[in-house]
């Protein structure tokens, strides 16, 4: 990559970075997004409970905090955004379980506070109603606070869609470009990346887990954040709807959330208490699984560890431990003009739409000229999901493109046509194909499809099969060709 010049450089391809890039593409602004991984959404966005806060969850928020404002402003924006971008959005409702009278009192206060800022969607339901709505819930629950408006989405697909739509509207996306250094100059900044230098006038730092490290490169780190690690376990689809709403108990302390929710694809997700952890240590432990299951059993006794098909850890950046999940960083640096730091912490996905608008406002205050892009098209179509088509549509599609008649992933019924389309849109790795098409996400976890997807990636990208990676960088899947290890040996 030779030296690139751009007006606004967005660092970080998570849900916030891509939402900001897409928002900027509404204007005649030259925007470039750099992401250190081989694909967008692979940081905090990926390890996610997929919940879109719509009300009751905002109970914990306080209006004096900026983060609450961003979440509340995002509430009416999320569903239309998902519709524009053809991303799954499902309103499932939320049940905050009440276990005793003390909790009841606390909830009444919280409900009143929420009503005072205009959030009026939640209601108390009694024991009978709760057990009718969720027959598998623990018998000791005495009722729940119900918010019918809470929704779920797929944050990874949302982020991919935001990036695609930003590109459609003139934005530039560079993956596997890790920011190594930032220097100020007369025109703005000179940014050194692992793929060459980029000069820009404005920087949006949405580097997620590394937000403070990136800011520190140019002394714009006038804030402190703490890495908090969470753990998510995915249950087999065959478990079905052990819960049909997002269900949780009110945390005793910040970070102690304990959530069970369906995903948009019919799996159930278990979330665990979040803990301060060494940054970037994504390794899971037996303890995480044990604690998660123990907590889940308090809400739904029948959940079994045997049904876990996958699990992973992810990071959130808390503003500080006390206020941790109340406050966020969405502000221009006090020390460095034209440098904006963005870190929501939790819930990044839910707050993304309003945060993007807020950041564009901050850019304008810092001097960016915003002329409308008359060609801006807010719509983007998802890759055809073969398994969801009608019989006639399937027949028609195969007649048009025989690749759709070749099923490469048996568990999720994903066809070669979908894999080719994912690659055409920017997937360069096995995980990239998986997150776009679900090939490899089913119960055999890629056992059947990985040789086939490896072959298609090699063919479409014009590389050798041994060069195909799981997730970019040094994650090559197959290290040697046959007989390579025997050459030169006796």
Partner 1 sequence: MLQDVDVAVIGSGPAGMAAAIKAKEAGAENVVIMERAEQLGGLLHQCIHNGFGLLYFKEDLTGPEYAHRFIEKVMDAKVKMLLNTMVTGIAPDRKVTAVSSQEGYTTFRPKAIVLAMGCREKTRGALNIPGTRPAGIFTAGTAQRFVNVEGFIPGEKIVILGSGDIGMIMARRLTLEGAEVKVVVEILPYVGGLIRNEVQCLHDFNIPLLLEHTVTHIHGEKRVEAVTVARVDRNKNPIAGTERQIECDSLLLSVGLIPENELSLMAGVELDPVTGGPIVDETRQTNVPGIFAGGNVVHVHDLVDNVSWESELAGQSAASFVTERKKAAGRRVTLKPGRNIRYIVPHTISGEREVTLYMRVNDLEEGVRLKVGGIMSKALRVVKPSEMLKIELSSAQLGKLEEGTTEIVVDCEKRGE
Chain residues in the site for partner 1 (CB under 8 A): 234, 282-286, 288-289, 305, 308-312, 387, 391, 394-395, 398-399, 402-403, 405-407, 410-411, 413, 415, 443-448, 450-451, 454-455, 465-466, 469-486, 489
In the complex, the smallest distance separating the C-beta of residue 262 from partner 1, rounded to whole angstroms, is 19
Other CB atoms within 10 A of residue 152 CB: 22
Of 251 and 455, the one with the shorter C-beta distance to partner 1 is: 455
Q: Which residues pair with 179 in a beta bridge?
A: 193
Of 321 and 480, the one with the shorter C-beta distance to partner 1 is: 480
In the complex, the smallest distance separating the C-beta of residue 157 from partner 1, rounded to whole angstroms, is 20
In the complex, the smallest distance separating the C-beta of residue 450 from partner 1, rounded to whole angstroms, is 6
In the complex, the smallest distance separating the C-beta of residue 391 from partner 1, rounded to whole angstroms, is 6
* Residue 235 half-sphere exposure toward CB, CA atoms < 13 A: 25
In the complex, the smallest distance separating the C-beta of residue 256 from partner 1, rounded to whole angstroms, is 21
Of 155 and 254, the one with the shorter C-beta distance to partner 1 is: 155
Please choose, from the candidates 183, 209, 196, 174, the residue with its C-alpha nearest in 3D space to the C-alpha of residue 45.
Answer: 209
> What backbone phi and psi angles, to 5 degrees, belong to 359?
-65, -40
Of 165 and 263, the one with the shorter C-beta distance to partner 1 is: 263
- Three-class secondary structure of residue 342 per DSSP: strand
Of 59 and 235, the one with the shorter C-beta distance to partner 1 is: 235
In the complex, the smallest distance separating the C-beta of residue 42 from partner 1, rounded to whole angstroms, is 11
Q: What is the DSSP letter of 193?
A: E
User: d(Cα 4, Cα 2) in Å, to the nearest integer?
Assistant: 6
Task: Indicate the pairing of strand 308-318 with strand 414-415.
Answer: unpaired
In the complex, the smallest distance separating the C-beta of residue 346 from partner 1, rounded to whole angstroms, is 22
Contact by Cβ (8 Å): 41, 17: no
Task: Indicate the pairing of strand 151-153 with strand 179-185.
Answer: unpaired
Of 323 and 444, the one with the shorter C-beta distance to partner 1 is: 444
∠ CA 205-211-214, nearest 5°, is 75
Rounded-to-10 torsion of CA 155, 167, 409, 464? -130
Task: Indicate the pairing of strand 188-193 with strand 196-205.
Answer: antiparallel
Of 298 and 413, the one with the shorter C-beta distance to partner 1 is: 413
User: d(Cα 453, Cα 461) in Å, to the nearest integer?
Assistant: 12
């Amino acid at each position: 990559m030779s030296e690139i010049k751009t007006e606004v450089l967005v660092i970080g391809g998570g849900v916030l970075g891509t939402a900001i890039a897409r928002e900027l593409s509404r204007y005649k602004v030259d925007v470039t997004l750099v992401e250190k991984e081989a694909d967008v959404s692979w940081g905090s966005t990926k390890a996610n409970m997929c919940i879109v806060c719509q009300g009751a969850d905002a109970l914990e928020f306080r209006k004096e905090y900026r983060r609450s404002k961003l979440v509340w402003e995002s509430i009416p924006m999320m569903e239309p955004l998902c519709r524009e971008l053809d991303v799954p959005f499902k309103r499932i409702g939320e049940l905050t379980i009440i276990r005793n009278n003390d909790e009841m009192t606390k909830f009444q206060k919280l409900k009143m506070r929420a009503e005072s800022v205009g959030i009026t969607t939640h209601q108390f339901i009694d024991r009978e109603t709760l057990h009718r709505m969720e027959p598998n819930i623990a018998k000791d629950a005495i009722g729940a606070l119900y918010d019918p408006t809470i929704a779920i989405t797929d944050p990874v697909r949302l982020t991919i869609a935001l990036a695609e739509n930003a590109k459609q509207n003139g934005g530039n996306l560079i993956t596997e470009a890790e920011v190594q250094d930032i220097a100020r100059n007369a025109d703005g900044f000179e940014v050194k990346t692992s793929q060459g230098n980029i000069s820009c006038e404005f920087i949006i730092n949405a580097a997620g887990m590394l937000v403070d490290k990136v800011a520190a490169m140019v002394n714009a780190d006038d804030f402190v954040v703490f890495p908090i690690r969470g753990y998510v376990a995915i249950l087999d689809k065959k478990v079905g709807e052990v819960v049909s709403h997002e269900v949780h108990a009110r945390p005793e302390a910040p970070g102690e959330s304990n959530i069970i929710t369906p995903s948009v694809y019919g799996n159930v997700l278990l979330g665990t208490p979040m803990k301060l952890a060494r940054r970037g240590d994504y390794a899971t432990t037996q303890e995480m699984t044990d604690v998660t299951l123990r907590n889940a059993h308090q809400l739904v006794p029948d959940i079994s560890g045997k049904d876990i098909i996958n699990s992973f850890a992810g990071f959130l950046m808390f503003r500080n431990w006390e206020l941790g999940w109340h406050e966020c960083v969405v502000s221009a640096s006090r020390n460095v003009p034209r440098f904006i730091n963005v870190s929501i912490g939790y819930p990044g996905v839910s707050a993304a739409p309003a945060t993007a608008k807020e950041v564009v406002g901050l850019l304008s205050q810092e001097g960016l000229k915003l002329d409308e892009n008359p060609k801006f098209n807010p719509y983007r179509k998802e890759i055809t999901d073969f398994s969801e088509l009608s019989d006639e549509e399937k027949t028609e599609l195969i007649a048009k493109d025989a690749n759709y008649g070749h099923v490469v992933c048996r568990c999720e019924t994903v066809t070669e046509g979908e894999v080719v389309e994912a690659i055409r849109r920017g997937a360069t790795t096995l995980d990239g194909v998986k997150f776009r098409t679900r090939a490899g996400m089913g119960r055999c976890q890629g056992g059947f499809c990985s040789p086939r997807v490896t072959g298609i990636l090699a063919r479409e990208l014009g590389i050798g099969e041994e060069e195909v990676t799981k997730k970019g960088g040094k994650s090559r899947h197959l290290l040697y060709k046959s007989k390579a290890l025997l050459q030169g040996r006796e």
